[in-house]
Structure 1
């Protein structure tokens, strides 16, 4: 996946709204915002499953235990991604 994602104000109200998905640091920031504050519609629109899986081992630390647990219970493949890293 390449390009830039621009988040709406209800998600990125405090600053940076554009995220280059080829920049790992920006992508992790984008996904942290989405996973912690996104609505279902936001998640289906902006989250790429392959990118989420690839970056989950680092991202899971950034989102905190409650969100990590919720996502890993719903998507066991994320746990497998951590084990493979």
Structure 2
């Protein structure tokens, strides 16, 4: 059986859309220090990351944006940091994730 790429893409978009918080203000995660991500979010690679180190902060945000459910997004991401990182991070995450977030939150668009 052949999967239609358009239907796969729309299913993926719907999955990411369901995970979104209703407002960026719900992203109340830490701004500094070490953060340990649960295995269901960071199932591959580093799980403990230091937000004070720019590469690790970027890595945490990429991972949580791609793998986090709504509670994880709100718990681990911070609105101000997301807005600060978005001009770079939107090029490093999957297109579907980027599009869903920018459609829901126009303030993220470049």
Question: TM-score scaled to structure 1, two decimals?
Answer: 0.88
Q: Where does structure 2 lack aligned partners over 5 or more consecutive residues?
A: 1-30
Q: Root-mean-square deviation (CA), in Å?
A: 0.9
Structure number having the greater helix percentage: 1
Shift of 1:14: 1.9
Q: How far has the Cα of 1:7 moved from its partner?
A: 0.1
- 1:44-59 alignment, distance < 5 Å: 44-59=74-89
Per-residue CA distance 1:9-57 (angstroms, 9 max, x = gap): 1111222111111111111111111111110110011110000000001
What is the TM-score normalised by the length of structure 2? 0.69
Kindly provide the CA deviation profile for residues 38-78 of structure 1, in whole angstroms up to 9, marking residues without a partner as x.
10110011110000000001100111211111000111111
1:69 aligns with 99
**Contact 2:49/2:56 (<8 A) preserved:** yes
Matched, 1:21 2:40: no
